[in-house]
Structure 1
Amino acid sequence: MSSQRTKLIDFYKHEGTDHRGRTLSDLWAMPSFWLEHTHDYIQWLFPIPEAGRFNGFAPLLGEAERAAFAADATLRAH
């Protein structure tokens, strides 16, 4: 089964960036102070199926993404 590529899947596979050009590794490396005071990354790390009020640039968790995460242990680990 081949998974459909989306911005969120590319981001989690370390093959894409968020809306500000940050990679998943970039976000993992951010200091606690930055994480506490910046919030536009949260829906990239914890995607949800509906648009949030705080980050209109975050991708939505759709069926393609759910299927990809279900089928790929590396995506789930990331």
Structure 2
Amino acid sequence: MKKSAYLSIQEVAERFGVNITTVYRLVKRGKLPAFKIGNQWRFSESQLEEWVADQVTVKWLLADEAPSLGGTGGRKKE
């Protein structure tokens, strides 16, 4: 049997190592690509892969542009 190109919310939560509630929250906020079939959320594997790549790229770009804090972790030296 061919593996489905679509994942359930449980499968997405397991894949990312997060709680199902976190996945629901991301979907509700429009941050995670998903669609509904009846009353069940489904996720395209290819769209999830693109989403992950975008998240990594954004974080990399932001880290590259962030100002240096001098290695103190933002804490004042005593």
TM-score, reference length from structure 2: 0.25
Task: Flag the structure with higher strand content.
Answer: 2
User: Relative contact order, CA 8 A, sep 6+: which one is greater?
Assistant: 1
Q: From the CA coordinates, give the structure whose radius of gyration is larger.
A: 2
